Structures are given as C-alpha cells and as structure tokens.
Structure 1
C-alpha cells in the first residue's frame, strides 16, 4: 500500500492485550512504519493521560485522539486541538437513567470525565482494576449530578454482566436519536456516551484532513471493537483484529490475528512494509 501516509491505531485489544503493554514485535513493526515516513497516531476510548504512555511507548508522532474522539491533544506541547464534550442536559438525563438502573442492579458503575480527570461516587474492586489498568487517579464525589453544571467529556457505565450492558445499549439507542448522543462499546462490559456525532471516525477525519491535510484514501486504521467502527469505515484501508465482532470485521479491508498473536505486526508486514 504505497499510498498510505498515516497509520491510526486503537490501543486496547489492538496494540495492547491482557498484559496492558505493547509487545516488542508490534513496537518493532511500528518503528519500521515510521522509518518509511508514515505518521503514526493513537485513537482510543481511554483518557488522554491514560493513553500517553502508549504514545511514548510506540514513539507515535501525531496528537492523541482520546475519549472515543471527544478529545485531541498534542503531547509535544500539551495543546488541546479539539474538545467536544457531552451537552450537560443530555448528560443529566442519561445519568438519571443510569441511577435508575443502579437501583435494579447494583453491579452498575458510573464514571464521569471532566478535564481529563475521572470522577465516581464510590470505589469498588472494579474501580480499582480500571484505575490500575488505566494508570490514573480517581476523584470521589457524593453525587455525580452535582458536577453537571459543566459538560462532561464522556460518560461510562460498566457492569460485569455483558447482557445487561447490551440491554441498556439497546434501550438507550431507542431513547436517544443519533443527533442527541453517540453511544458505543469499547469492551462488552462498558457502555460509553459522547456528544452526538463525536466518535473516532469524525476525530480521525478532523486530524487527517483539517490538521494534516491528507485524504481518507491515504489513511490506514486498525481496531477491534464497536467504538472503532466509525474510523474503520472512514479510512481508505482498514484492518479488524481477529477477535473483533463480526459487524466490525464486515466493513474492513482485511482481518488480521488477534492482539495476543501480534495482529498489528502481521497487518503492517502484509500491507505497509
């Protein structure tokens, strides 16, 4: 693929698996991509501060797209290039829905994100796992609703019950039109909400066309889940990881191996090097 100028990578399930690290094989492949003059960047559901170590680990040279496209920041000078938070009225309505669900199933946790900080109402074992894996701190408040005088960057609900998360997603997609909220999943146990029309696809398009001056045909994206769907659909060439949902695989140019088998390195070797 001699016309590829930019490679955009998801993090979890794509370059980082169970170990929460990038393998040496994948890092070596990404270095070879950069040696060909191709720019490399990350697009993730993670917070900016959580994605930063991966940016340095793979020596990426583009601004980080975080929060499923709601935030773009340049690590070179810390400049925030784009921030599209959730409308606070919509956020409050979603919060009240999630609190009602919590009364039925107390396994549901709610996360709010403001100014690249995580806010929760209580710390649980699941919160500890999330915080440790993300490499971040956490702020505890009595009532998350008290923060909604401002617009949150993202809202996340989590539960170990995959079916419950899927059910809530179906209900919420009926409750909110596409022009009201963007709802997705980066993992079967997460339900994530951003502002309407704010997703990885729109953020990659903004970065590629408005900032870098390239076209979709010059972009390659690699991802593994529903929150990657929009950027995989945007790029001229896209790759799904081997364990991606069938709906994600169906729209991509190529399916590679899963993250535990260095699928990104395989895709790079086959289509870029």
Structure 2
C-alpha cells in the first residue's frame, strides 16, 4: 500500500500519520471547505468513508463556525449521534434537544461598543442567538442561509429562522436572548484591522477568520479547540486519540490540541502551516479519500 498517495505536504511521515489515525477514537471535522464539497454538499465518497469510520467505533463530531441549526442536515445525512460544536465553540448542543451542553454568549457591553461602528460603516453583519439568525436589511450574506434552507426543505428538515434588522444597536437593546456569534462579511482591510483591534481579551472578545474578507466574533476564550476538549471529556476520550480537520484560521485552535491535525489543500497558509498533514482539496473528496487511506482498517 502506498501510504503517501493522499498526502500533499506533511510534518509527519506517512507511517506516523497512519499510526496516529489508527489510534484515533474521535474525529472532529469542520464543514465548509473541509467536509463539504464546493457545492456545499457531502459527496458520496466522503459519505461512504465516514460511515466506515463510524463502523470502526470512531466518533465523528462536526465543528463549525455556523450555528448548529444550519448543520443539522449534514448531521442527519451522516447518521451522527454526537453533539455539534457550533459558533466556533461558543455553543455545544445535541440536535433534537434545546438543552445547551455548553454555551458562552457574547458580552453585552463589548457587543454594544462594536455595534456603533458596524452600523456607521453599514457592514453586512449576521448575528446568532441560540435559535435564529438576524441580518442587516439588504444583506448579501444571508443568501448562505437561504441556500441552506432550500436544502433543509428538500430533506424534510427544519429551516433556520431568519429575521431582519435595520440598526444593530437597536436590535441589541431590544433583544432579550443572548447572542453567541457575530459574523462580519465583505470587510475592507481597514475594517478588518479595526475589528480585530476591538476584539481582544481585554474587551472580552475574540476574532477569527472563517472565510475570505470576513470575521467571526465570539466571547474571549471560545474556540473550536476548546470545543474539541469539552466534547472529548464528555465522551471520555483522550485528546491524544483525536483527529481534527479544517481549512481556516478558526480551525487552528483545534489543530493545536488534537493528536492528529489535518488541513485541506485549499486551506489558508496559516492553517496549512499549523497542521500535521495536508490532504487533497475539499472539492476532490479530500476528507473521504484521506479517511479511506489512513483510518479504515483493511
């Protein structure tokens, strides 16, 4: 068997990747740009590989910057029985239950401080509570959720509720429920620099990129890496026996704590540099092929 056939770059030898994969009991996987193809779907090769992986007793957990309600179609397609790490670790919840296994909302005071700038700049901002997505009137980014809701309807799954706002400042004052993530889209370099400067531990905020020209803003200390550790503890799995796959800045935190870290070939340079191994592009079923090559026992 050619162990290196699906490795493009690696800090580990193919044999080391193989050995760590065989020790794995928990595979934590990002969605967009990783598990999903360029059309936002799970290809047949990847679906088959994940099913075989679970058949070997390895748990798969989805870890995403999305809210969990916009990942449930894929959770059901994969026949998962594990919680979803969502909002970059700020929420962990089992689909079908409204009980949050873990949650850390955005601090209200720091959020209000950002809102004036976001309103003045008319930045395309989505903000998530535990149940729905709020979007600025005229938002282009809300189309992401509209496309997901089409998928959900076709599968007989619940849609993600959406609600428009005109002023983020007014929304924050009027809305009683806590928010868990703010997504700022189509940023200029100057806007991104400002938002990163305003999203520090001192302000109680954290900013990470999950897509080009965008920022995810959560409460300080929230990350997919912390989410991985919490789920590993819940499932009583040693973090050394976990694998994590992703493609963006917001995946790096879980690369740092997993026993094996995997970045896709289409990943950003920082994510690629932080990973143990780089697998093929998500558009070429990189996750499915990598799982087949290294995780599936023959």
TM-score w.r.t. length of structure 2:
0.83
* Secondary structure at 1:90 match in 2: helix
Q: Secondary structure at 1:13's aligned position in 2?
A: helix
CA contact (8 A) 2:141 2:185 kept: no
- Aligned match for 1:90, one of 110, 128, 131: 110
Partner of 2:152: none
> What secondary structure does 1:250 align onto?
helix
1:76 CA displacement: 5.1
Residues 239 and 267 in structure 1, CA contact (< 8 A), matched pair in contact too:
no
Over alpha carbons, which structure has the higher Rg? 2
| Separation in structure 1 between the aligned mates of residue 200 and residue 268 of structure 2, nearest angstrom | 23
Query: Would the alpha carbon gap of residues 128 and 91 (structure 1) be closer, same or farther in structure 2, given more than 3 Å must change?
Result: closer
Preserved CA contact (<8 Å) 1:14 1:224 = yes
Q: Which of 106, 131, 134 is the matching residue for 1:119?
A: 134
Higher relative contact order (CA 8 A, sep 6+): 2
2:238 maps to which of 210, 215, 236: 215
1:259 aligned residue:
282
Specify the alignment match of 1:105 in structure 2. none
RMSD: 1.7
1:231-246 paired onto structure 2 within 5 Å: 231-246=254-269
- After alignment, is 181-190 or 23-32 more displaced? 181-190
Map of 1:190-229 to 2, 5 A cutoff? 190-209=214-233, 211-229=234-252
Q: C-alpha distance in 1, partners of 2:90/2:226?
A: 9
**What secondary structure does 1:19 align onto?**
coil
**Structure 2 gap ranges (5+):** 1-20, 150-159
Counterpart of 1:174 (choices 183, 187, 197) is 197
Rounded to whole Å, the distance in 1 between the matches of 2:269 and 2:255 is 13
SS for the counterpart of 1:65 is strand
Query: How far 1:128 moved relative to its partner?
Result: 4.6
What is the CA distance between 1:78 and its match in structure 2? 4.0
Partners of 1:172 and 1:37 in 2: CA distance: 42
